[in-house]
């Protein structure tokens, strides 16, 4: 009896000890291979042993943003080292051969599963879709939803959620630009034309352009934009519809209609490839990098400028187009996912996002709000070209704030000259735009080449 009680007592001790074991930090051997193992707080569990950790971040070159973030993070986390793995470029700028070498090197690393813990993927467009197809990156959506320390109210979640691909969020945006049209408000107002830019399509843009021309406005609406570049821009806006994993839909009616629509804009001289003074056009395409940049551009192109959303495709949701200038992805085979995710969140913090404004609008709402308030306190922005100061007030910065909240059409970078998919579209589209091939024949050739590229 006494022996039986002793065995029972020891059994209870074992059970209690197992239940009271810490849930954070290291994983046990049973879940060391579980890529999505999470602690009670929703944080990924690291697979390293011992107190010291190293998070390797692969990037083209570490700028001041990352260097200062490393210094601050390591000061707050003395047992963690942030190590930057940079690409050894031969000169100050990358030539095409080095760009190709960089893309091949990173692709080999990522797909081998033995690369860095984190990848900075926005400096030069990388074939992220291929990495995602091969399940080489962590789906961060799971972490965002389950991490109890992640407060979505602090961030521009419209930017994060609209950076989805293959039904997941595989890259975490840190900073972004917006795309827009600046219009000649005086000319448009004198013509009596009303523009609902939150709902206009490229077809409506063409109709409005014709009305403006008929009523004494400018005959050209946009200039200095080659048809191949506009087409790539529209492909980028509609990328999730045209490419899903390793399947492309460039031979669809949607894309052939897109081709014909772009050609008609040029055939009717609504848009011209040639450079035309903005004062002789109804609109000017531009990016916006900050609240002060927005105000400067209002007076840069026209004496009385107004901002409009870029038109969208007929069956595409409305919204402001944006491009991500800084973002990170996590290696699915990283052994320090918990620490890597913690560093990613640190880079999103107000403290770190306030370090630099050079790379665009912040993913952190507080940083953006402060930038607007600082500008309002400043009172004005000097515009050397206009020869006058532009007033900075809550009222005239409201359109900028609205556009930030309405940004949801991501430009995936597929209109970049270094991108293979963009190059294919540019090469094949020229024959169509010069009348040598039909839209259907052009689309078929693109489809075959792009499918080969996606399945390389």
* SS3 of residue 307 by DSSP: strand
Give me the pLDDT at residue 316, please: 74
Give me the pLDDT at residue 403, please: 95
- Judged against a pLDDT cut of 80, whether residue 404 lies above it is answered with yes
- Judged against a pLDDT cut of 50, whether residue 15 lies above it is answered with no
In this predicted model, what pLDDT tens digit does every residue of 208-247 receive, in sequence order? Answer: 999 999 887 788 999 999 999 999 988 988 888 898 878 8
In this predicted model, what pLDDT tens digit does every residue of 187-211 receive, in sequence order? Answer: 899 888 999 998 898 889 999 999 9
In this predicted model, what pLDDT tens digit does every residue of 22-43 receive, in sequence order? Answer: 333 333 333 333 345 666 666 6
For residue 154, the 8-state DSSP code is G
Give me the pLDDT at residue 30, please: 34
In this predicted model, what pLDDT tens digit does every residue of 54-68 receive, in sequence order? Answer: 999 999 999 999 999
Q: Residues 261-277: what's their mean pLDDT?
A: 93
Pairwise CA distance, residues 312 & 204, whole Å: 10
Contact partners, residue 67, CB within 8 Å, separation at least 6: none
Higher-pLDDT residue of 448 and 419 is: 448
User: What domains can be seen in the chain, in order of their start residue?
Assistant: 37-174+325-363 (3.40.190.10), 178-323+366-454 (3.40.190.10)
Length of the chain counted residue by residue: 456
Report percent pLDDT > 70 for the chain: 87
Give me the pLDDT at residue 59, please: 93
Q: Residues 404-432: what's their mean pLDDT?
A: 83
User: What global pTM score does this model have?
Assistant: 0.84
- b/e burial code for range 155-176 (CB count within 10 A of at least 16 → b): bbebbbebbebbeebbbbbbbb
Contact 46, 27 (CB under 8 A): yes
Find the range with the poorest average confidence among 33-47, 290-304, 401-415, 441-455.
33-47
Give me the pLDDT at residue 224, please: 92
Q: What is the DSSP string of 428-447?
A: HHHHHHTTSS-HHHHHHHHH
Give me the pLDDT at residue 414, please: 53
The C-alpha angle 136, 139, 142, rounded to 5 degrees, equals 150
Q: Residues 270-275: what's their mean pLDDT?
A: 93
Give me the pLDDT at residue 40, please: 61
Higher-pLDDT residue of 269 and 383 is: 269
pLDDT band at 421 (very low <50, low <70, confident <90, very high): confident
Higher-pLDDT residue of 99 and 323 is: 323
Give me the pLDDT at residue 413, please: 65
In this predicted model, what pLDDT tens digit does every residue of 130-177 receive, in sequence order? Answer: 899 899 999 999 999 999 999 999 999 999 999 998 889 999 999 999
In this predicted model, what pLDDT tens digit does every residue of 282-317 receive, in sequence order? Answer: 999 999 999 999 999 988 899 888 999 999 877 777
The mean pLDDT of the chain is 86
Which residues, in sequence order, are bridge partners of residue 80? 53
In this predicted model, what pLDDT tens digit does every residue of 361-372 receive, in sequence order? Answer: 999 999 999 999
Give me the pLDDT at residue 98, please: 85
Contact 399, 298 (CB under 8 A): no
Give me the pLDDT at residue 50, please: 67
């Amino acid at each position: 009896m006494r022996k039986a009680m002793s065995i029972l007592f020891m059994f209870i001790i074992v059970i209690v000890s197992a239940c009271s074991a810490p849930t954070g930090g290291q994983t046990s051997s049973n879940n060391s291979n579980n890529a999505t193992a999470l602690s009670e707080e929703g944080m990924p569990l690291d697979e390293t042993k011992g107190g010291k950790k190293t998070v390797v971040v692969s990037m083209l070159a570490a700028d001041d943003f990352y260097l200062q973030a490393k210094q601050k993070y390591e000061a707050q986390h003395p047992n963690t080292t942030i190590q930057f793995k940079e690409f050894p470029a031969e000169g100050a700028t990358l030539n095409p051969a080095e760009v190709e070498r960089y893309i091949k090197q990173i692709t080999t690393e990522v797909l081998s599963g033995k690369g860095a813990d984190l990848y900075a993927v926005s400096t030069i467009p990388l074939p992220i879709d291929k990495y995602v197809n091969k399940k080489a990156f962590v789906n961060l959506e799971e972490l965002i939803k389950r991490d109890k320390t992640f407060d979505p109210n602090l961030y521009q979640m419209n930017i994060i959620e609209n950076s989805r691909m293959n039904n997941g969020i595989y890259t975490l945006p840190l900073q972004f630009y917006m795309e827009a049209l600046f219009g000649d408000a005086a000319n448009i107002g004198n013509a009596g034309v009303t523009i609902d830019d939150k709902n206009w399509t490229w077809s409506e843009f063409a109709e409005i352009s014709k009305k403006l021309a008929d009523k004494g406005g400018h005959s050209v609406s946009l200039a200095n934009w080659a048809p191949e570049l506009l087409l790539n821009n529209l492909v980028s806006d509609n990328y999730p519809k045209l490419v899903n994993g390793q399947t492309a839909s460039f031979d669809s009616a949607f894309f052939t209609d897109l081709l014909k629509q772009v050609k008609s804009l040029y055939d009717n001289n609504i848009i011209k490839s040639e450079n035309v003074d903005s004062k002789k056009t109804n609109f000017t395409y531009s990016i916006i990098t900050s609240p002060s940049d927005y105000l400067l551009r209002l007076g840069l192109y026209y004496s009385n400028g107004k901002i409009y959303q870029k038109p969208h495709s007929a069956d595409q949701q409305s919204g402001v187009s944006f491009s991500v200038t800084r973002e990170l992805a996590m290696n699915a085979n990283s052994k320090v996912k918990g620490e890597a995710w913690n560093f990613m969140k640190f880079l999103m913090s107000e403290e770190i996002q306030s370090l630099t404004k050079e790379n665009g609008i912040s993913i952190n709402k507080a940083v953006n709000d402060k930038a607007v308030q600082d500008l309002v306190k400043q009172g004005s922005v000097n515009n050397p070209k206009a020869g006058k100061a532009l007033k900075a007030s809550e009222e005239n910065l409201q359109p900028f704030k609205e556009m930030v909240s309405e940004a949801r059409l991501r430009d995936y970078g597929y209109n970049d000259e270094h991108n293979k998919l963009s190059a294919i579209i540019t090469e094949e589209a020229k024959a169509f735009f010069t009348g040598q091939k039909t839209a259907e024949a052009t689309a078929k050739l693109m489809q075959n080449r792009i499918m080969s590229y996606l399945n390389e």
